[in-house]
């Protein structure tokens, strides 16, 4: 396992010491000049998808203990939502075969939701048995993608999730809806916003309290995001919409900024940028939570998240996976903290430097 020296140095610091070093590094960053937002609009909910969406496509087998520790560390950062795992057949997603063990072993906090993806009734039944309080279902806005991914059309997928949503509600379980390929499809190309609106409205009307709009192949720009949200928000309240941006073309933060201006207050992201784009090998996938939080705090939005602890957690999981942290903010602030820690302390009046006479 190859780990960059900066990551290893950061990991070796105690958790509290590293967070304090990051805070000191942040204190030397120029303050933003943006005017403060009103109290009604200043909070943005971050939905951390790293443990599920971020890890599910990792080729190496990740021990359940590592996933559990990862989620526990995420819980200590101030996040209010951590998507923990997916109750999917191990035949299709081997990495999620330990879902029950993971969700029943983590140290749950009362103020945090731990939703789990449940693609079918069997997955929902397992989630109910494990005591899950919130689940997520997914559909695509593209028939071609739906057929390639779950072997059915979009309309057929609605018939699959309808009884799932009903059963979840009967058991007092919240349901979140994901819509994939909201801007572009790897098979069909551009997707019309009105098609996304139709799918989103159906999910919302079925009982999904929140609809996450996923730019699966990362082709969105602020222009297409604006058009998308203008269309979808006509049939689903803006307060019930979330954005799930991939950074494949380096547009994720710009797209999130645009969504915020449109009124969106829920953002999906993945610690350390975990989770690649399967349709663009080697390209970036999920936007990094650390980068999103750094931007939001700089714009005077509140998230409840301790950025120092978030960076520490991102460095920790990156080290466990043997890869560099995919967050630009995390890398920059980690190097800044390490440089500050390694710099010699100037003499103080209490400890004068004695001259050699």
**pLDDT band for position 284 (cuts 50, 70, 90):** confident
pLDDT of residue 150: 87
Average the pLDDT over 26-39 and give the result.
Answer: 53
pTM of structure: 0.89
Higher confidence at residue 12 or residue 196? Answer: 196
> For residue 232, which of 141, 333, 149 has the smallest C-alpha distance?
141
Q: Which of 23-27, 95-99, 220-224, 348-352 is least confident?
A: 348-352
pLDDT of residue 347: 62
Report whether pLDDT(38) > 70: no
Q: How many CB atoms lie within 10 A of CB 282?
A: 6
Average the pLDDT over 260-279 and give the result.
Answer: 92
Report whether pLDDT(103) > 50: yes
Distance CA 147, CA 257 (A): 32
Average the pLDDT over 68-94 and give the result.
Answer: 96
pLDDT of residue 346: 62
Question: How large a percentage of the chain has pLDDT more than 70?
Answer: 84
Average the pLDDT over 274-287 and give the result.
Answer: 76
Report whether pLDDT(154) > 70: yes
pLDDT of residue 21: 72
Catalytic residues: 277
Report whether pLDDT(1) > 50: no
Listing DSSP states for 264-284 in one string gives: --EEEEBGGG----TTSTTS-
pLDDT of residue 318: 98
Distance CA 25, CA 268 (A): 26
Average the pLDDT over 96-123 and give the result.
Answer: 98
The pairing of beta strand 184-185 with beta strand 189-190: antiparallel
pLDDT of residue 3: 47
Report whether pLDDT(301) > 50: yes
> For residue 327, which of 303, 294, 291, 284 has the smallest C-alpha distance?
291
Structure tokens at 243: 């954005």
Tell me the domains of the chain and their CATH numbers: 45-335 (3.20.20.70)
Average the pLDDT over 68-97 and give the result.
Answer: 96
> For residue 308, which of 27, 22, 13, 8 has the smallest C-alpha distance?
22
pLDDT of residue 356: 47
**pLDDT band for position 92 (cuts 50, 70, 90):** confident
For 210-241, what is each residue's pLDDT tens digit? 999 999 999 999 999 999 999 999 999 999 99
**pLDDT band for position 34 (cuts 50, 70, 90):** very low
pLDDT of residue 279: 65
**pLDDT band for position 14 (cuts 50, 70, 90):** low
Average pLDDT, the chain: 90
Structure tokens at 333: 């602030």
Q: Which of 207-216, 328-337, 343-352 is least confident?
A: 343-352
**pLDDT band for position 282 (cuts 50, 70, 90):** low
- Residue 213 makes CB contacts below 8 A (sequence gap 6+) with 179, 182, 196, 200, 228, 229, 232, 241, 242, 243, 244
């Amino acid at each position: 396992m190859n780990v960059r020296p900066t990551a290893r140095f950061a990991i070796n610091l105690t958790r509290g010491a590293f967070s304090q070093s990051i805070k000191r590094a942040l204190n030397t960053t120029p303050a933003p000049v943006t005017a403060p937002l009103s109290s009604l609009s200043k909070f943005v909910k971050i939905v951390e998808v790293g443990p599920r969406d971020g890890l599910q496509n990792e080729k190496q087998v990740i021990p359940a203990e590592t996933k559990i520790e990862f989620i526990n560390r995420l819980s200590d950062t101030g996040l209010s939502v951590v998507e923990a795992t997916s109750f999917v057949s191990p035949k299709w997603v081997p990495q999620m075969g330990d879902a029950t063990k993971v969700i029943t072993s983590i140290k749950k906090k009362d103020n945090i939701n731990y939703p789990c993806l449940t693609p079918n009734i069997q997955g929902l039944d397992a989630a109910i048995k494990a005591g899950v309080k919130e689940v997520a279902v997914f559909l695509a806005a593209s028939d071609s993608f739906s057929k390639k991914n779950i072997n059915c059309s979009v309309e057929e997928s609605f018939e699959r999730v309808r009884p799932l949503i009903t059963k979840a509600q009967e058991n007092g379980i919240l349901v979140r809806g994901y819509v994939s390929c909201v801007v572009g499809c790897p098979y069909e190309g551009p997707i019309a916003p009105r098609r996304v609106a139709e799918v989103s409205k159906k999910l919302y009307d079925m009982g999904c309290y929140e609809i996450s709009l996923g730019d699966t192949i990362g082709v969105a720009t602020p222009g297409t995001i604006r058009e998308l949200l203008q269309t979808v928000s006509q049939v689903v309240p803006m307060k019930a919409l979330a954005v799930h941006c991939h950074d494949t073309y380096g547009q994720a933060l710009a797209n999130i900024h645009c969504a915020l201006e449109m009124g969106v207050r829920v953002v999906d992201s993945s610690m350390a940028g975990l989770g690649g784009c399967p349709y663009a090998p080697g390209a970036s996938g999920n936007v990094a939570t650390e980068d999103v939080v750094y931007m939001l705090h700089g714009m005077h939005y509140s998230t409840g998240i301790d950025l120092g602890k978030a960076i520490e957690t991102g460095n920790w999981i990156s080290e466990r996976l043997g890869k560099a942290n995919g967050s630009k903010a995390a890398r920059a602030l980690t190097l800044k903290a390490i440089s500050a820690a390694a710099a010699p302390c100037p003499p103080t009046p209490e400890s004068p430097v004695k001259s050699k006479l």
